[in-house]
Chain A
Amino acid sequence: MNFFDSCRNSLPQDQHAQRIDAFARFEASGWPTPALESWHYSDWSSLAEKPFNIAKPALDPVFAPDRAQPLALVALDPVQTATSFALDALNRAFAKQGVDKTIDGHAQIPFLITHALAGEQVMRHLRHRLALSAGSRATVVIWDAPGIDDSDTLLTAVLTLTLAAGSHLTLIRVQDADARATRAMHLKAHIEADATLEMIQLDFGGARVRQETEITLAAPGARFEQTGLAALTGKSRVDQRSHVWHAAPRCISRSSARLLAAGSSRAILNAKVQVQPGAAKTDSETRIASLLLSDKAEIDAKPELEIYADDVQCAHGATFGQLDEDAAFYLRSRGLSAAEAQSLLTQAFAQTALDRIPLPGLKNWVEQRVSTLLVANAA
Chain B
Amino acid sequence: MLVIENLFADIGSKSILKGLSLTVNAGEVHAIMGPNGAGKSTLAKLLAGHEDYLVTGGSVSYRGEDLLAMPTELRARSGVFLGFQYPVEIPGVSNTTLLKAAVNAKLKHEGKPEMDAGGFLAFVKQKVKQVAMEPKMLQRGVNEGFSGGEKKRNEILQMLVLEPTLMLLDETDSGLDIDALKVVADGINALRGPERATVLVTHYQRLLDYVKPDFVHVLAGGRIVKSGGPELALELEEKGYGWLEAA
Question: Contact at B141–A348, with CB atoms within 8 Å?
Answer: yes
Q: Which residues of A contact B56 (CB under 8 A)?
A: none
Q: Is the CB of B93 within 8 A of A332?
A: no
Contact B162 A352 (CB under 8 A): no
By the criterion CB–CB under 8 Å, are B73 and A348 in contact? no
Chain B, residues 140-184, CB within 8 Å of chain A (1/0): the string is: 011000000000000000100010000000000000000000000
Residue A97 CB within 8 A of the other chain: no
Q: Contact string, A40-81, partner B, CB cutoff 8 A, digits 1/0? A: 000000000000000000000000000000000000000000
Assess A345 versus B90: contact at CB under 8 Å? Given A329-B50, A330-B84.
yes
The answer, yes or no, to whether A351 is at the interface (CB within 8 Å) is yes
Report the minimal beta-carbon distance from A309 to chain B, rounded to whole angstroms: 34
Asked if B138 is at the interface of the complex by the 8 Å CB criterion, the answer is no
Q: Which of B77, B87, B90, B109 contacts A348 (CB 8 A)?
A: B90
Q: A329 to B81: give the CA distance in the assembly, Å.
A: 13
In the docked arrangement, what's the CA distance between A329 and B73, Å? 9
Q: Scan B75-98; emit 1 where CB is below 8 A from any A CB, else 0.
A: 111000110100110111100011
In the bound complex, residues from chain A placing their C-beta under 8 Å from that of B71 are 332, 338
Give the residues from 317 to 351 in chain A that come closer than 8 angstroms, CB to CB, to chain B: 324, 326-327, 329-338, 340, 344-345, 347-351
CB pair A335 B92 closer than 8 Å: no
- A326–B72 alpha-carbon span in the complex (Å): 13
Q: Is the CB of B90 within 8 A of A337?
A: no
Which listed residue, A333, A337, A348, touches B93 by the CB 8 Å rule? A348
For residue A70, give the distance in angstroms from its CB to the closest CB of chain B.
Answer: 33
CB of A324 within 8 A of CB of B88, answer yes
Q: Are B109 and A335 in contact (CB under 8 A)?
A: yes
Q: Which residues of A contact B91 (CB under 8 A)?
A: 348, 351-352
Identify the closest chain A residue to B98 (Cβ).
A334
How many angstroms from the CA of A376 to the CA of B174 in the assembled complex? 43
Residue among B75, B88, B105, B141 making CB contact with A336, cutoff 8 Å: B105
Interface centre among B72, B106, B158 (most CB of A within 10 A): B72
User: A212 to B6, alpha carbons, bound, how many Å?
Assistant: 64
Known A-B contacts A337-B105, A344-B97; A332 and B49 likewise in contact (beta carbons under 8 Å):
yes
Q: Is the CB of B72 within 8 A of A332?
A: yes
Chain B contacts with A in 38-85, Cβ cutoff 8 A = 48-51, 71-73, 75-77, 81-82, 84
Q: How many of chain A's residues have a CB under 8 angstroms from any CB in B?
A: 22
Contact A335/B106 with A340-B101, A344-B101, A348-B141 known, Cβ cut-off 8 Å: yes
Is B22 engaged at the interface, CB distance under 8 Å to the other chain?
no
Do A333 and B105 contact each other (CB < 8 Å), given the known contacts A324-B88, A327-B90, A348-B141? no
Q: Do B49 and A330 touch (CB < 8 A)?
A: no
From A349, which residue of chain B is reached at the shortest CB distance?
A: B92
Q: Say yes or no: is B24 at the interface (Cβ < 8 Å to chain A).
A: no
Whether the Cβ atoms of B109 and A334 lie closer than 8 Å is no
With both beta carbons as reference points, the residue of chain B lying nearest to A355 in the complex is identified as B92
B76 neighbours in A (Cβ, 8 Å):
332-335
A335-B73 CB under 8 A given contacts A344-B97, A344-B101, A348-B91: yes
CA of A337 to CA of B101, assembled, Å: 10
Chain A residue at smallest Cβ distance from B106: A335
A327 — which chain B residues lie within 8 A by C-beta? 88, 90
Expressed in whole angstroms, the Cα–Cα distance for A350 and B92 within the complex equals 8
What CA separation (Å) do A344 and B76 show in the bound complex? 18
B51 touches A329 (CB 8 A): yes
Tell me which residues across on chain A come within 8 A of B50, comparing CB atoms.
329
Q: Are A330 and B88 in contact (CB under 8 A)?
A: yes
Give the residues in chain A near B93, CB-CB below 8 Å.
Answer: 331, 344-345, 347-348, 351
Q: A340-B101, A348-B141 known; A333 and B82 CB under 8 Å?
A: yes
Given contacts A335-B105, A336-B102, A340-B101, contact A330 B92 (CB under 8 A): no
Q: CB distance A333 to B72 under 8 Å?
A: yes
Measured in the bound complex, the distance between the Cα atoms of B46 and A333 in whole Å is: 11
A345 to B88, CA, bound (A): 13
Which of B77, B93, B97, B98 is the most central at the interface, judged by chain A CB atoms within 10 Å of its CB? B93
**Interface pair B87/A330, CB less than 8 Å apart:** yes
A268 to chain B, nearest CB (A): 24
The listed residue (B51, B77, B88) touching A335 by CB distance below 8 A is B77
* Minimum CB–CB distance for B154 against chain A, Å: 11
Contacts of A345 in B (CB 8 A): 90, 92-93
* A-side contacts of B158, CB under 8 Å: 334
Expressed in whole angstroms, the Cα–Cα distance for A348 and B91 within the complex equals 7
Asked if B92 and A352 sit within 8 Å, CB to CB, the answer is: yes
Q: How far is the CB of A357 from chain B (nearest CB, A)?
A: 14
> Considering the complex, which residues of chain B in the window 117-153 have a beta carbon less than 8 Å from any beta carbon of chain A?
141-142
- Chain A residues with Cβ under 8 A from B92's Cβ? 345, 347-352
Determine the chain B residues whose CB is within 8 A of the CB of A349 once the complex forms: 92
Task: Give chain A residues whose Cβ lies under 8 Å from the Cβ of B49.
Answer: 329, 332-333
Say yes or no: A335-B141 contact (C-beta < 8 A), given A329-B72, A345-B90.
Answer: no
B73 touches A338 (CB 8 A): yes
In the bound complex, residues from chain B placing their C-beta under 8 Å from that of A330 are 84, 87-88, 90, 142
Chain A residues at the B interface, C-beta cutoff of 8 Å: 324, 326-327, 329-338, 340, 344-345, 347-352
**Would you list 10 pairs from A and B whose C-beta atoms are within 8 A, ordered by A residue?**
A329-B72, A330-B142, A332-B71, A333-B49, A333-B73, A334-B101, A334-B105, A334-B158, A335-B73, A345-B93
With A333-B82, A335-B162 known, 20 other A-B pairs at CB within 8 A are: A329-B72, A330-B87, A332-B71, A333-B72, A334-B158, A335-B77, A335-B102, A335-B106, A336-B101, A336-B102, A337-B73, A337-B105, A340-B105, A344-B97, A345-B93, A347-B92, A348-B92, A348-B93, A349-B92, A352-B92
5 A-B pairs with the lowest CB-CB distances in the bound complex, closest first: A348-B92, A351-B92, A335-B105, A335-B76, A334-B102
